[in-house]
Amino acid sequence: MKSDVQVEVQPSSVSVQEAGKRNKKKLQKLESQAAAGSTMTHKVMGKEVKFKLVEVPADKIELSTMVYLGNERNQFLLDAHAVSDLIETFKDQGQQIPAFGRDVCGQIEIADGSRRRFTALETKKPFYVWVGDLDEQQMQFLSDVGNKYKDTSAWEKGLRYERMLNNATQEEVAEAVGVSRKAMMRCVNTAQLPKAFIRSFTSPNELSARKGETLYKVYKSLTKEKQEEIVNFCDSWLIPEKGKHTTEEIIELFITKCGATNEKPEAVKPRELAMGATVALKNGNATINIPKVSDDSLKAIEDFISQTLSKEALDNC
């Protein structure tokens, strides 16, 4: 939806100083447009919607605006690290692209622009919003389109898919969101990891669905007390240390706290038998390899195995 707002194209040859002046002019233009009550009409999902540009003062943002509940992005995970790509621009030039939302009983509900909203709060800058008469489908559409600029994490997607599973099957949800059932369930399982652990990363996007599912399988096997211990560890140590540890280090610390190991088990070494034959045992399952076996020898081996296993089965009855 970013293309819905007219943006002045800047020549690549301008100096840094000149670009800064133009950005300042653009912000001043945004301020004057909002003050003048500027409007625009644009189609959203095929329907014409009239928008009015509204400026929300920095000290009014928290009370005068809220984020649309259907927004997949988890607002609890937003912090200075998560919006680091926006903060410097906001500090130097203010908000460049308005958000989109609607008026709900005097409060502006934001569909597209929750990261800009948080950044405006963080930098104490005015927040600009195109406010229009949008229905639920249009709000969800704008929210989904807005999140494509900075994709939501597997953990956040998993929370949404989990809510959808309350009213639909796994196959139906997977089809609705356009992913395979396996990929969808990986996100759902990742979403079962504690929020404190996800907050430990500089960005929740650092944890993939595949790795998240693996970690959840380890985490869910723990006792309630052990799980609480890990959450406390994240709250009291990892989150305050955010930005000082790599993704791999955070995952390794989590695994260690769970009492597991990230090391791959040693490969099973086959035992050698006569004539190059081998047998390997793993988790109670035997794999026998016999090269260049004759039909007669194979028949004799099959008979022996069948008799031996039958006798064992009878003895265990």
Q: Which two tokens stand for residue 158?
A: 């998993």
Q: Which two tokens stand for residue 219?
A: 């985490």
pLDDT tens sequence for the chain (317 residues)? 444 433 333 333 333 344 334 445 555 676 777 777 788 898 999 999 999 999 999 999 999 999 999 999 988 888 888 888 899 989 988 898 899 999 999 999 999 999 999 999 999 999 999 999 999 999 999 998 888 878 889 999 999 999 999 999 999 999 998 999 999 999 999 999 999 999 999 989 999 999 999 999 999 999 999 999 999 999 999 999 888 889 999 999 999 999 865 555 556 678 888 777 888 776 567 788 888 888 888 888 888 888 887 766 555 54
Indicate the pTM of the whole model: 0.62
pLDDT at 11: 35
Helix (H) or strand (E) holding 313: helix 295-315
Domain spans, the chain: 1-151, 153-263, 265-297
For residue 84, CA distances in Å to 11, 113, 143, 235, 281 come to 26, 15, 21, 21, 52
Which SS3 state, helix, strand or coil, does residue 147 take? helix
Give the contacts of 8 (CB within 8 A, at least 6 positions apart). 22, 26
Buried b (16+ CB within 10 A) or exposed e, 14-38: eeeeeeeeebeebbeebeebbeeee
Buried b (16+ CB within 10 A) or exposed e, 148-173: eeeebbbbbbbbbbbebeeeeeeeeb
Give the CATH number of domain 153-263; options: 2.30.31.20, 3.90.1150.10, 1.10.357.10, 1.10.10.2830.
Answer: 1.10.10.2830
pLDDT at 13: 35
pLDDT at 265: 52
